[in-house]
């Protein structure tokens, strides 16, 4: 069984057409700018809005792990002691506590996803499995889910960072329409600095998926301090050409920090405050670099 953090309906940025995106919990990377830090851990987690807490302390005695303590009119939660049991949620008078991570059976999830079949059919959309990193979830579960959606005629897109065993990709390849595949930098040391691991596995998996005939959309989160130079972009272009990667689309995704507010809610500090998006003119220039090299299905955003 895998944990699901959320199901986002009417999504138009996670593949073709109108889609429903399922966010799985757990990821092996630790991208500094991660928009969904609550999806990194494979366990259930507490999200707690400490800023709005009134300090009633009603939740404090309810916690079986003594992770909650009240001081100076506020309540603090020690995330190191919290195991995500959720007992305190029912005792919060302001509804400021939420457990992230819910279990669905495959049949329950398919039933929920089929509710939007009409939108999929009219728009050429379907279901996107995302995360976290869906390719490191329970692969028996993911494979069964992909098979059932495929048999119902619902296309499946996988949104992946690529940091997973290739065997996992091979298992679901027959049931997947498209892979949304991240490339963040060709420099393994920079990748390790900002993502917490080198890029060797990611690039190897991309090459093997391409050789297996997968339909691949390359997605490049574009950040000045990480990959926002001509040199960086030309290195990616050279790699895609030399490895003969089958690329259906390329999306350059300008950096944004919309997920930064979530970090405090899980007891962490956002470390991406010094990162910046390239200027509009720079982004357009990067698009031109790809087009000049023969890549035509490329756009900013998506």
pLDDT in tens, 40-92: 999 999 998 988 888 889 999 999 999 999 877 788 888 889 988 999 999 99
- On whether both 178 and 221 belong to a single domain, the answer is yes
Mean pLDDT of 251-275: 93
Q: Which of 82, 100, 118 is the last residue of a domain?
A: 100
Q: How confident is the model at residue 2 (pLDDT cuts 50, 70, 90)?
A: confident
- On whether both 158 and 229 belong to a single domain, the answer is yes
pLDDT in tens, 192-233: 999 999 999 999 999 999 999 999 999 999 999 999 999 999
- On whether both 200 and 283 belong to a single domain, the answer is yes
Residues 287 and 300 sit within 8 Å (Cβ to Cβ):
yes
Answer yes or no: is pLDDT of 302 > 90. Answer: no
- On whether both 155 and 200 belong to a single domain, the answer is yes
Answer yes or no: is pLDDT of 23 > 80. Answer: yes
- On whether both 154 and 189 belong to a single domain, the answer is yes
Q: How far is CA 181 from the centre of its chain?
A: 11
- On whether both 67 and 187 belong to a single domain, the answer is no
- On whether both 81 and 168 belong to a single domain, the answer is no
- On whether both 259 and 195 belong to a single domain, the answer is yes
In the chain, the number of structural domains is 2
**Which residues span the domain enclosing 252?**
3-41+105-300
| Integer Cα distance of 31 and 196 in angstroms | 7
Full-model pTM:
0.94
Q: Which of 100, 133, 168 is the last residue of a domain?
A: 100
Q: How far is CA 9 from the centre of its chain?
A: 15
- On whether both 91 and 203 belong to a single domain, the answer is no
Phi, then psi, of 160 in degrees rounded to 5: -140, 150
Q: How confident is the model at residue 37 (pLDDT cuts 50, 70, 90)?
A: very high
- On whether both 165 and 250 belong to a single domain, the answer is yes
User: In the chain, pLDDT over 70 holds for what percent of residues?
Assistant: 100
Higher pLDDT: 79 or 158? It is: 158
Please report, for the domain that includes residue 77, its CATH number: 3.30.70.20
Q: How confident is the model at residue 163 (pLDDT cuts 50, 70, 90)?
A: very high
- On whether both 11 and 90 belong to a single domain, the answer is no
Please report, for the domain that includes residue 211, its CATH number: 3.20.20.70
- On whether both 66 and 183 belong to a single domain, the answer is no
Residue 281: what pLDDT?
Answer: 97
């Amino acid at each position: 069984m895998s944990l699901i953090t959320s199901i986002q309906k009417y999504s138009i940025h996670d593949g073709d057409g109108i889609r429903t995106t399922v966010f799985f919990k757990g990821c092996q990377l630790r991208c500094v700018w991660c928009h969904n830090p609550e999806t990194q851990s494979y366990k259930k987690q507490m999200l707690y809005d400490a800023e709005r807490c009134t300090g009633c302390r009603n939740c404090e005695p309810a916690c079986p792990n003594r992770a909650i303590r009240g001081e100076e009119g506020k309540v603090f939660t020690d995330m190191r002691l919290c195991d995500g049991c959720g007992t305190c949620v029912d005792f919060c008078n302001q509804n400021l506590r939420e457990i992230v991570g819910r279990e669905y059976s495959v049949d329950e999830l398919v039933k929920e996803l089929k509710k939007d079949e009409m939108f999929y059919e009219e728009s050429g959309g379907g279901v996107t499995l995302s995360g976290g990193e869906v390719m490191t979830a329970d692969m028996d579960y993911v494979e069964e889910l992909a098979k059932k959606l495929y048999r119902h005629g619902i296309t499946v897109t996988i949104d992946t960072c690529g940091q997973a065993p290739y065997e996992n990709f091979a298992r679901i390849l027959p049931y997947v329409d498209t892979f949304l595949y991240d490339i963040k930098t060709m420099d393994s040391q920079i990748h390790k600095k900002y993502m917490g691991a080198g890029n060797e596995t990611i690039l190897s998996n991309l090459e093997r998926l391409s050789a297996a005939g997968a339909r691949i959309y390359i997605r490049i989160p574009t950040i000045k301090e990480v990959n926002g130079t001509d040199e960086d972009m030309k290195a990616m272009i050279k790699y895609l050409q030399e490895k003969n990667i089958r690329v259906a689309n390329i999306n350059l995704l300008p950096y944004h920090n919309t997920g930064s507010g979530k970090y405090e809610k899980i007891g962490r500090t956002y470390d991406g405050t010094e990162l910046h998006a390239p200027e509009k003119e720079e982004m357009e220039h990067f698009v031109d670099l790809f087009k000049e090299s023969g890549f035509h299905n490329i756009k900013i955003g998506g």
